[in-house]
Structure 1
Amino acid sequence: MNEPQLLNHIEQYVQQFMDEHYRPELLYHNKEHTIRVVRAAKQIGEHYRLNEQDFLIVVAAAWFHDLGYYTAGRTDHEKEGARLAADYLQRQHVDTDTITKIQHCILATKMPQNARTLLEQIVCDSDLFHLGTTDFADCNKLMRKEAEAVKGSEISKADWRSKTIQLLQGHQYYTDYCRILLNDQQQQNLDKLLQKEERKKEELPETKQPEQVIEDKKNRNKETSRGVETLFRTTSANNQRLSDMADNKAHILITVNSIILSVILSVLIRKLDNNTHLIYPTILILATSVSTMVISILATRPSIPAGIFTQSDVDTQKVNLLFFGNFYKMHLEDYARGMWKVMGDRDFLYGTLIKDVYSQGVVLGRKYKLLRLAYNIFMFGIVVSVLAFIIAIYTVQ
């Protein structure tokens, strides 16, 4: 079986099928959507380095996964798509095992998704890839218009937004690749919808029953918790980026001064016997380079605590269990017991997150303070050294 050639045939067949069975109400589940899903399936499949047969399975499933919309409508379109895939692939003499796997991948996309194998997970993540992209808002509008066209009546923005929020809150990507690539943007898309929801509530004050007030407070607490979690996640990510920047700056200083030292030690020092007037400028530039390197190394040199915490530290909530330096020598059971206590106590959890962010800030402050000192020494030392060389040379002349 020639997999690439078969995929070309499948692409031509599916696109021709869609053209021949064109349905104007399919404003979202159309050819453009299918092509996006196929593109995502190829991207994820290439990341996991699938062999040719597995790559054929996920891409073929992506092509056929919504084809049932064109013949059976919204109800059980996954079964119809799986049937259409089997009919076509049997005519292409594809083996039964491959056809079955393709059908399972298509059926796994039925909401709520139920993927068991990696191939099914890839197809499911490809189908909802847009939830974690900047195209989400445009896709969501098309889905609403399609639902209205199929239903034959208008759907209020508030109702649609509420259902979309439920979808985003309940959705999680299966593959690690998609979670790393798309989770942040999916959360941003959800946050935007939640902000719109909150603004609409503020714009439409109304008399509420006590039960409604309690429910609203619960919802606001949930949204506040989500906002706090986003705050901590964003702050930690920013601190990590700043730490990486500091390490890169220190690396630049160390590399540059290593080159300067190499040149001085290998070339200039040999000639000092005949050029005694250059001794002091050479010592000056050597001192500058060595001092800069030492301080840059100090800025990036890690300091590791004892790696052990006691039960009293957990009971008094004095230990930060998110920093590896506090537990790397502990047994898993002891650490897990402490983490369960953290997760079971909201105040302890937020307190731990605060300690973690604060610790990151302290480390960053030390790094950048040393880096500033290193850059100052390097800047002023180089300027003074160059002037010393110039003065020494002109004095001899």
Structure 2
Amino acid sequence: MVQLMEKASAFVLDLLKKELPDNFIYHNYTHTKRVVKSLQEIIDHTELTDKEKEILLVSAWFHDTGYVKGCENHEQSSVEIVKGFLLDNQYPAEKIESVCKCILSTRFDVCPTDKLEKIIRDADASHFGKDYFEEASEFLRLEYKLQTRKNYSEKEWRKINIKLLTEGHEFYTDYALENWQPQKEKNLFELIEKQKKNSNKQDTERMKAQIKDESPERAIQSMFRVTMQNHLKLSDIADTKANILLSVNAIIISLILSNLISKLDANSNKHLIIPSLILTIFSVVSIIFAILSTRPNITSGEFTKEEVLSKKVNILFFGNFYKMPFDQFNWAIKQTMQDKSQVYEALTKDLYFLGVVLHQKYKLLRITYHIFMAGIIVSVAAFIVAFAFYKN
């Protein structure tokens, strides 16, 4: 028997190594060895004849070899393979029939009828009662995915395994019931616990999402944040535009003072006095309005407790507290934070007065651009008239 088992092991290893596709990451030689090992456990604790042991071991080695020909009806393919092997080794026909019967009994929809069938069936499903059940189960799930037979999610696979362990599987031998059933129950318990945790987690996330949807807090905060950012950007843009006008007009005045005025004393250039004066005046006025648009307004920097309690002061604006001692400012901030509506009211005031300042900036900036544009037009026209009618 030992010699036959060595031949069977070598034959199966060579067959699976050469012909089994790589995407069989569960039903491979490792699985076969596990089944043989589990079978040996049962054999060692069961009264069996040498003939029965031999039939069982051969069945275990060959029970999944049919996968080399595909998943469809692989048990029958395994029977054909083992028949060929045993006939080549002059194995008795009676034993071949028993081996084939054992292999066919590993079909999950077949109920084992005799002792040998029950033993091979328990050995094939022994991973249900082993501590490596989770690992083996995950390999089987991935095998289905790699072969595009079925892509189960972890949740779906867990549900299938729970149903399988509770309704679809049972151990038949005394050894399996005594030694593997407790671990099977433990594996089932762990699956159920994970399912509960997953369900609780999903319920929690669903409740959080519901609370988030129903509560306007986040939307309100986002509204204030985005609006404030937009207003600050607009303020920066206004300051940039004012600085551009300041720079341009300063350059114009510098050019007039350095290059043109020194030449106006000559009789030949007297016709340029008025156009130069017009350009200078408009540039100076533009500079004045540009400065006004960027000039900060100075406030008192103080507040009273009555103003805070009556919500008449915006404690978030620096111009209202920069002269106050820290203790009073700290008290005012805490007083504001005690009432959520007061916080929103302070933010609203801050936003409103920022808008008022922006309006003033852009109003002065618009006037500055009009003055600058008018100055350029009038000055150019004056220079044209001066050159056309008053030269010499």
* TM-score, scaled to structure 1: 0.50
State the match for 1:37 in structure 2: 35
Q: What is the letter of the counterpart of residue 105 of structure 1?
A: C
State the match for 2:157 in structure 1: 160
Identical-residue share of aligned pairs (%): 28
Structure 2, unmatched stretches of 5+, are 208-392
Which aligned runs of 4 or more in structure 1 are off by greater than 3 angstroms? none
State the match for 2:90 in structure 1: 93
Whole-angstrom distance in 2 between the partners of 1:169 and 1:194? 11
Q: What is the letter of the counterpart of residue 140 of structure 2?
A: M
Whole-angstrom distance in 2 between the partners of 1:22 and 1:116? 31
State the match for 1:144 in structure 2: 141
Q: SS state of the match for residue 65, structure 2?
A: coil
Q: What is the letter of the counterpart of residue 63 of structure 2?
A: H
Cα shift at 1:151: 1.3
Cα shift at 1:49: 3.1
The equivalent position to 1:133 in structure 2, one of 123, 130, 135, is: 130
Cα shift at 1:95: 1.0
Cα shift at 1:153: 6.3
Whole-angstrom distance in 1 between the partners of 2:73 and 2:102? 15
State the match for 2:197 in structure 1: 199
1:53-202 correspondence to structure 2 within 5 Å: 53-71=51-69, 73-151=70-148, 154-170=151-167, 171-202=169-200
Q: Is the 8 A contact 1:113 1:124 kept in 2?
A: no
State the match for 1:9 in structure 2: 7
Q: Is the 8 A contact 1:58 1:123 kept in 2?
A: yes
Q: SS state of the match for residue 21, structure 2?
A: coil
CA-to-aligned-CA distance 1:166-190 (integer Å, 9 cap, x gap): 1111211010110000111100100
Structure 1, unmatched stretches of 5+, are 208-397
1:1-397 correspondence to structure 2 within 5 Å: 3-71=1-69, 73-151=70-148, 154-170=151-167, 171-205=169-203
Q: What is the letter of the counterpart of residue 13 of structure 1?
A: F
Q: What is the letter of the counterpart of residue 61 of structure 2?
A: W
Whole-angstrom distance in 2 between the partners of 1:44 and 1:31? 20
Q: Is the 8 A contact 1:18 1:67 kept in 2?
A: yes
CA-to-aligned-CA distance 1:342-384 (integer Å, 9 cap, x gap): xxxxxxxxxxxxxxxxxxxxxxxxxxxxxxxxxxxxxxxxxxx
Cα shift at 1:119: 0.8
Greater Cα offset, 105-114 or 121-130: 105-114
Whole-angstrom distance in 2 between the partners of 1:180 and 1:127? 17
Q: SS state of the match for residue 50, structure 1?
A: coil
Greater Cα offset, 149-158 or 105-114: 149-158
Cα shift at 1:22: 3.1
Whole-angstrom distance in 1 between the partners of 2:97 and 2:124? 19
Whole-angstrom distance in 1 between the partners of 2:72 and 2:146? 15
User: How many residues are aligned here?
Assistant: 204
Change (3 A) 1:186 1:78: same
State the match for 2:283 in structure 1: none
Cα shift at 1:152: 6.3
* TM-score, scaled to structure 2: 0.50
CA-to-aligned-CA distance 1:132-151 (integer Å, 9 cap, x gap): 01010110111111011111
Whole-angstrom distance in 2 between the partners of 1:203 and 1:153? 26
Whole-angstrom distance in 2 between the partners of 1:138 and 1:78? 24
Whole-angstrom distance in 1 between the partners of 2:54 and 2:108? 23
Whole-angstrom distance in 1 between the partners of 2:110 and 2:44? 22
Whole-angstrom distance in 2 between the partners of 1:125 and 1:110? 12
Q: Is the 8 A contact 1:45 1:55 kept in 2?
A: yes
Cα shift at 1:42: 1.5
CA-to-aligned-CA distance 1:104-153 (integer Å, 9 cap, x gap): 11000101242111111111000011100101011011111101111166
Q: Is the 8 A contact 2:20 2:67 kept in 1?
A: no
Q: SS state of the match for residue 94, structure 1?
A: coil
Cα shift at 1:156: 0.8
Change (3 A) 1:153 1:126: closer
Considering only CA atoms, is the larger Rg found in Structure 1 or Structure 2? 2
Whole-angstrom distance in 1 between the partners of 2:198 and 2:154? 11
Whole-angstrom distance in 2 between the partners of 1:158 and 1:49? 42
State the match for 2:309 in structure 1: none
Whole-angstrom distance in 2 between the partners of 1:87 and 1:93? 10
Whole-angstrom distance in 1 between the partners of 2:177 and 2:131? 15
Q: What is the letter of the counterpart of residue 55 of structure 1?
A: K
